[in-house]
Amino acid sequence: MAQSSSGRKKPNVLVTGTPGTGKTTTSSFLAEATQLRHVNVGDLVRDKNLHDGWHEQFDCHVINEDLVCDELEDMMEEGGNIVDYHGCDFFPERWFDRVVVLQTENSVLYDRLSKRGYTGAKLTNNIECEIFQVLLEEAKDSYPEDIVVALRSDTIDDINRNVATLTDWVRNWCPKPE
Ligand code: ADP
Ligand code: MN
């Protein structure tokens, strides 16, 4: 194929970041504003059993990346999706027109995750993930630099601004010539 994103009439956006940075909140507002489809990968994995069981140590499902990609392929080909997940290196590069990495100040994130019931290693692992910018590095390693954008997500104002910025971007997006 000559163009990596040819054929899509609407863009695909990936919203990634450490758990608690606001991916699901941001994605659902963005879906409402743009009429794109919000795909919450965590929910999909659970609902369609796209996993290889439960990871006792990390207290989460062991996601089966091949099953997830097979499940999403047709939808992604069609375009018009907002994919919400705390990982991004196993999706095909050609799927996305924009990769958004949400970032949250450590103490703010700590409070959010504590409220969600995270404690011990699960809490500290996620805070370290944010401190070391693991998701930003993963996104930069996996996608072209010019489609990756890091956005701050500390406050409600940040969410509103991020949704407005991304809505503008979606509305101005043009399909690539084939
Ligand atoms: P994620 O999907 O990345 O795990 P969520 O969207 O579920 O994060 O947000 C986790 C919690 O933090 C929710 O209670 C949400 O309301 C709150 N939250 C997320 N982002 C922000 C923000 N920028 N400002 C204030 N609260 C936020
Ligand atoms: Mn979420």
Q: Which atom of ligand 1 lies closest to the CA of 154?
A: 23
- CA of 102, nearest ligand number: 1
Q: Give residue 85 CA to ligand 1 midpoint distance, Å.
A: 13
Q: Give residue 35 CA to ligand 2 midpoint distance, Å.
A: 19
Ligand 1 pocket residue status of 112, Cβ below 6 Å: yes
- Assign 6 a pLDDT band (cuts: 50, 70, 90): low
Tell me the HSE value of 3 on the side-chain side, using a 13 A CA sphere. Answer: 10
Whole-angstrom Cα distance, residue 72 to residue 96? 12
pLDDT at 76: 98
pLDDT tens for each residue of 78-91: 999 999 999 999 99
Is 24 within any annotated ligand binding site? yes
Query: Can you give the pTM of this predicted structure?
Result: 0.96
How far CA 12 is from CA of 23, 47, 126, 140, in Å, comes to 15, 22, 26, 17
- CA of 19, nearest ligand number: 1
pLDDT at 178: 67
Q: Is the pLDDT of residue 33 over 50?
A: yes
